[in-house]
Chains A and B, each alone.
Chain A
Amino acid sequence: MTDRQSTPQDADLVALLRARDEDAFRILVERYQPTLIRTAMTYVSSRAVAEEVAQETWVGVLRGIDRFEGRSSLKTWLFTILANIARTKGVKEKRSIPFASTGTAQDESGDWLVDPSRLRGSDDPKFAGWWSSYPESWDGAPEERALGNETRALINETIDKLPPAQREVITLRDIDGWTSAEVCEALQLSEANQRVLLHRARTRVRNVLEEYLRVS
């Protein structure tokens, strides 16, 4: 019996899974299924197909676990299996990866990360590109508002509506706590592209929070 209170390492769970331990499998599914579905969504066009891909990925894990040598991390291996299965579904071949430029104020859908009217233009040569009026402080927002259920629901909703690659990166990094190296390896992203996606996602969530927490 595995103690659910502690958090067993992937490598230990892999060893247990090789020994046909059902609890180890259950823990792995609980740990990675949401991530697998979200990642599958970047390959295929419907949630139903993404769930299918995730399920088949687990079957692939069971079939391959005795040959898995642990040379890559479990995460990377999982994502390789998932990518191969997703490709057989052949729905969306190309993942949309943005240009590696954080210098732009617009993201891949053309939305402004900062409303340009909030920055001064060339009519003020000394301070062109500086704030015309500062962002409002959030300090006046009541604590329970900043951390309450409504805010969490709002953040969830915002993340759900992000372009798939942004959604995937912010979820893995900021919700699941993966390192940037892990995310890059699993999603086959360059460090720079990963940062661009994370930047856009965080900035968009910040902007939604601003609307909500603005002291009126």
Chain B
Amino acid sequence: MFPDENDPSVDWGTLTCADFIALCTDYLEGALALDDRARFEHHITVCQGCDRWLDQIRVTVEAVGGLEEDLVPAGVLDGLIHAFRDWKASTPGALEKPAL
């Protein structure tokens, strides 16, 4: 699937792997100009290492996305709710509760 580096007929494009690695996030964020994007995508077709690298960045993003934020400790939440009640008791606020 990927060309042999001794094959003289292959167009290796204009990016090095170092460039490719540096540009992965810009690519995934859709921040590359059209011609840079084309150069980036061409590199994937000739370089197995970078094809794999980009794939691993995607796996990483997915794995990070599967994490969850810490819960707010009960003591902290209680303290804030207490502050809320004090505030509610001391300020009039809107009279009517909007419907969700």
**CB <8 Å contact, B93 and A66:** yes
B58-97 CB contacts (< 8 Å) to partner A = 59-61, 63-72, 76-77, 79-81, 83-85, 87-88, 91, 93-94, 96-97
Interface residues of A in 1-34 (CB under 8 A from B): 2, 8, 12, 15-16, 18-22, 25-26, 29-30, 33-34
B7: Cβ under 8 A from any A Cβ: no
**A76 in the interface, Cβ–Cβ < 8 Å?**
no
Give min CB distance, B44 to chain A, whole Å: 13
Q: Is B38 an interface residue (CB 8 A)?
A: no
Chain A hits for B53, CB < 8 A: 135
Report whether B5 and A127 are in contact in the complex, using a CB–CB cutoff of 8 Å: yes
Distance, CA A205 to CA B72, complexed state (A): 25
A146 at the interface (CB under 8 A from B): yes
Q: Chain B nearest CB: distance from A130 CB in Å?
A: 5
| Number of chain A residues whose Cβ lies closer than 8 Å to a Cβ of chain B | 65
Is the beta-carbon distance between A22 and B56 smaller than 8 angstroms? no
Query: How many A-B contacts if CB must be within 8 Å?
Result: 157
Please determine whether B77 and A130 come into contact, CB atoms closer than 8 angstroms.
no
| Complex Cα gap A51–B77 (Å) | 12
Contact of B59 among A18, A25, A26, A138 (CB under 8 A): A138
Q: Is the CB of B56 within 8 A of A135?
A: yes
Cβ contact within 8 Å between B100 and A12: yes
A191 to B94, CA, bound (A): 38
8 Å CB contact of A175 from B64, B84, B94: B64
Interface residues in A137-190 (C-beta closer than 8 Å to B): 137-138, 146-147, 151-152, 155-156, 159, 170-171, 174-177, 180
Is the Cβ of B80 less than 8 Å from the Cβ of A29? yes
B-side contacts of A34, CB under 8 Å: 69-70, 72
B16: interface (CB < 8 Å): yes
Choose one: A2, A25, A199, A206; the contact of B56 (CB below 8 Å): A206
Residue pair A51, B76 in contact (C-beta under 8 Å): yes
Cβ-based interface call for A129 (8 A): yes
Q: List 16 A-B contacts (CB under 8 A).
A: A12-B98, A19-B96, A29-B72, A51-B76, A59-B87, A113-B21, A129-B18, A134-B48, A174-B64, A191-B31, A198-B25, A199-B25, A202-B60, A203-B24, A205-B64, A209-B60
A-B complex: 10 closest residue pairs judged by Cβ atoms: A129-B16, A199-B25, A134-B49, A131-B49, A19-B97, A174-B64, A129-B18, A206-B60, A62-B87, A34-B69
What is the interface of chain A, defined by CB distance below 8 A to chain B? 2, 8, 12, 15-16, 18-22, 25-26, 29-30, 33-35, 51, 55, 58-59, 62-63, 66, 102-105, 113-114, 119, 127-131, 133-135, 137-138, 146-147, 151-152, 155-156, 159, 170-171, 174-177, 180, 191, 195, 198-199, 202-203, 205-206, 209-210
Question: Can you add 4 more A-B contacts, CB < 8 Å, to A16-B100, A105-B21?
Answer: A134-B52, A146-B59, A175-B67, A202-B64
